[in-house]
Amino acid sequence: MNHKPEENITPEKSHSEPPKPEKDKSNNDKFSQQVEDMATRKLKAQRHINKTVWTGFGMMGLIGWSVVIPTVLGAVLGMWLDKHYPGEHSRTLMLLISGLCLGCFNAWHWVDKEDKEIHRGDELD
């Protein structure tokens, strides 16, 4: 058998070097950020899932009743006052308008409260 003397064999460096750790870290950071963004959107969607169409209708009903009840109560009280204590001016009209103003203020309060809650929830996300 012919034995050639063993040559000092060193692995040759290939032209395509594996990516450097810094580059991998950058790619990993981007991937991690994408996963985190997706998870954040999913959690936000799960928190807001209870805000359905029926919730909107319920809020409209709540706001409607918050205007109607003081208006009707003002009109009824005014009619009672006009019937028992007649006077020069219509107390019915005066109390109806006062009840309407009070109801509108009450509705504005509810809408403002919901708006602040929605925006506070968006800031937390």
The reported pLDDT for the residue numbered 46 is 67
The reported pLDDT for the residue numbered 24 is 58
Per-residue pLDDT of the chain (125 residues), as tens digits, is 555 555 555 555 555 555 555 555 677 888 888 888 888 877 776 666 556 666 777 777 888 888 999 999 999 999 999 999 988 889 999 999 999 999 999 999 988 888 888 777 656 55
The reported pLDDT for the residue numbered 120 is 78
User: For residue 67, what are its two tokens?
Assistant: 């205007």
| CB atoms near residue 120 (< 10 Å) | 9
CA diameter of the chain: 135
The reported pLDDT for the residue numbered 124 is 58
